[in-house]
Structure 1
Amino acid sequence: MLQDRFGRTIDYLRVSVTDRCDLRCSYCLPARFTQFEEPSHWLTFAEIERVVAAFVRLGVQRVRLTGGEPLLRRNLPALAAQLKALGLRDLSLSTNATQLAKYAQSLKAAGVNRINVSLDTLDRQCMQDITGRDALAQVMAGLAAARAAELSPIKLNMVAMKGVNEAEIEAMADFALSNGYILRLIEAMPLGDTGRNAQFLELGAVRERLVERYQLVPQALELGGGPARYWQTPDGSAQIGFITPRSQHFCATCNRVRLTVDGTLYLCLGQESTVELRPLLRSGISDTELDAVIIAAIELKPERHEFNEQPTKLIRFMSQTGG
């Protein structure tokens, strides 16, 4: 098993397959940004498979495919099948669901276990304001296709923003609970100017309201190995998760690292500690050497982020890191 110098076991790898997206969420990707990574710098499917295979050899059993919007990467289900064949216990996908209606069945057939869908609002105009596109109908069609394909669980990721979609939280919770989805409320993170300009909303008071509204109780069961703290209805049939990187950070239990589309291994979402794998892969590094590089890289993983202490520290924005 991979362990860092703080005793944390690293068993979760997030793999970004593209930094491009068909939405421009206000907290993630600048509206006029065009400086995307050159396709020649993207890791090929074979290179991604090789890196993931190394992590699997070192004990990692959870992989999540991310972006940008991962379903914009051509033939993504084929990559999912390649990775699943490595023996992964859990292969998941994060998506904005605009393309999901086309790919839900093939993703399920390829071995994707579950999906997270970014959905910040159920209001058509609010979605256009946040994302720059009138895409609510496409997202809803994607969710329906995911249910039909029996992808499960389906989690809805809602970045809660003060004065933007704050008033919709209860409606989103009602929607999720009545349709069998798991709602996860997320505090905006200060990554790049997009993240810093988001209207930060601390989730403590929101949690108290929802706990009272639905009579929620803390849930000990792990739902995917991520940072969310889950609460459930009294009968255990529905859950709501809270991801609070700023008001109640979870760095002491962080179990993940991130591989970007250009082969950069990020050891922390909130720090700049990185290792460049693409040059090594393209210079003929052996599997044994690659394993050693990854083991050494994990030693660089910082103890914690500094979102509150240094909110202007990070220039890169969310879609460049892979979420």
Structure 2
Amino acid sequence: MTAPLIDPFARAISYLRVSVTDRCDFRCTYCMSEHMTFLPKAELLTLEELDRLCSAFIRLGVEKLRVTGGEPLVRRGIMTFFRAMSRHLQSGALKELTLTTNGSQLAKYAKELADCGVRRVNVSLDTLDPAKFAEVTRWGRLPQVMEGIRAAKAAGLKVKINGVALKGFNEDELFRLAEWCAAEGQDLTFIEVMPMGDMGNDYRIDQYWPLKDLRERLAERFTLIDLTDRTGGPARYVRLAETGQRIGFITPLTHNFCESCNRVRLTCTGELYMCLGQEDRADLRKPLRTSTDDAQLEVAIREAITRKPKGHDFDYSRQTVAGQMPRHMSHTGG
């Protein structure tokens, strides 16, 4: 049982993204409905159960743990979980503990996160325009997020901005976002919008801005130097010669990056998705609750990894949608 987790395509699974809640204080249009029906709290794993599950993955070779949601920092008592995971950093078993957040609660928790060993955070931010921010998040306030970013940096956390590329929405802010991040010393990663959740009849085709087009726009003003940097995720990076900053591209639609996928996703109810873009999943809550011994749980984890597919089927290339997922992004974890 000490052998590492290797999937059918010889990829070592070393990265776990764990959603601690499906709830969020924003309602981003590409992530969830405005009037969401959230899971009953009784269905969620307790923080102690999440600790046990994540600890099992760490024993089996996971070295990077990213905490997601929903918005992870709205979960009651969430710092108890971060403090528990910090013991794996101290032992050396876990190389990185990090999170993806909308930034709304960072002013409250940044220092405590840093004290738990978190060294960097990803903040989702698609626009620097307060009115457009309110439009895309529905419930969000840009000044609150900016305050959170400042608090994170004051606490010593490295901030990376994640922006979803949305045609007709933030195309005109491409250079503004890049230049703001450069001035703030922040990396910036763009993400293609994915066909997940409630999409209506057009499945977000009208919102889809291919990152190859975005990259060409960037190259009109900046010199792009391709980098071999890898951070354990799907992003591919360039450096802008004029500013020295790093720009990442996550391209699930224009470029399938699945050949190097090293990650799986655990939901707040104990479902393990071996691929974001496939519906196959494994129930880890049952073996978790069947026995206080982890033997059955580890067997279930290993069996799930044998079903990890080669890749997803997302495709907008023919102006029709393949591979769309009916579940919301917030269910699986952002």
Paired residues of 2:313 and 2:323 also in contact (CA < 8 A):
no
Larger CA deviation: 203-212 vs 253-262: 203-212
Amino acid across the alignment from 1:284 = S
1:159 aligned counterpart, secondary structure: strand
In the alignment, what sits opposite 1:118? 124
Superposed CA RMSD: 1.6
1:165-180 correspondence runs (5 A): 165-180=170-185
**Deviation at residue 194 of structure 1 after TM alignment:** 3.9
In the alignment, what sits opposite 1:299? 306
**Deviation at residue 219 of structure 1 after TM alignment:** 1.1
**Deviation at residue 95 of structure 1 after TM alignment:** 0.3
In the alignment, what sits opposite 1:73? 75
2:248 aligned counterpart, secondary structure: strand
**Deviation at residue 83 of structure 1 after TM alignment:** 1.1
1:304 aligned counterpart, secondary structure: coil
Q: 1:144 to 1:194 in 2, by over 3 A?
A: farther
1:3 aligned counterpart, secondary structure: coil
In the alignment, what sits opposite 1:130? 136
Quick check: 1:189 aligned with 2:194?
A: yes
- Partners of 1:146 and 1:313 lie apart in 2 by 35
Paired residues of 2:32 and 2:198 also in contact (CA < 8 A):
no
Instruction: Pick from 197, 205, 210 the counterpart of residue 202 of structure 1.
Output: 210
2:198 aligned counterpart, secondary structure: helix
In the alignment, what sits opposite 1:57? 59
- Partners of 1:266 and 1:173 lie apart in 2 by 33
1:125 aligned counterpart, secondary structure: helix
Paired residues of 2:284 and 2:301 also in contact (CA < 8 A):
no
Map Cα deviations across residues 218-250 of structure 1 (whole Å, 9 max, x no partner): 11122x211000001338941000111000010
The percent of aligned pairs where both chains have the same amino acid is: 47
**Deviation at residue 30 of structure 1 after TM alignment:** 0.5
1:16-95 correspondence runs (5 A): 16-33=19-36, 35-86=37-88, 87-95=93-101
Amino acid across the alignment from 1:84 = S
- Partners of 1:124 and 1:275 lie apart in 2 by 41
- Partners of 1:20 and 1:183 lie apart in 2 by 25
Q: 1:234 to 1:306 in 2, by over 3 A?
A: same
Give the unaligned 5+ runs of structure 1: none
Larger CA deviation: 159-168 vs 282-291: 282-291
Paired residues of 1:273 and 1:302 also in contact (CA < 8 A):
no
Amino acid across the alignment from 1:183 = L
Give the unaligned 5+ runs of structure 2: none
In the alignment, what sits opposite 2:112? 106
Instruction: Pick from 215, 219, 242 the counterpart of residue 211 of structure 1.
Output: 219
TM-score by length of 1: 0.95
In the alignment, what sits opposite 1:315? 326
In the alignment, what sits opposite 1:230? 237
Quick check: 1:97 aligned with 2:100?
A: no
- Partners of 1:44 and 1:311 lie apart in 2 by 36
1:305 aligned counterpart, secondary structure: coil
Instruction: Pick from 3, 13, 19 the counterpart of residue 10 of structure 1.
Output: 13
The count of aligned residue pairs is 320
Paired residues of 1:78 and 1:110 also in contact (CA < 8 A):
no
- Partners of 2:282 and 2:181 lie apart in 1 by 39
Q: 1:236 to 1:289 in 2, by over 3 A?
A: farther
Amino acid across the alignment from 2:111 = Q
Paired residues of 2:287 and 2:296 also in contact (CA < 8 A):
no
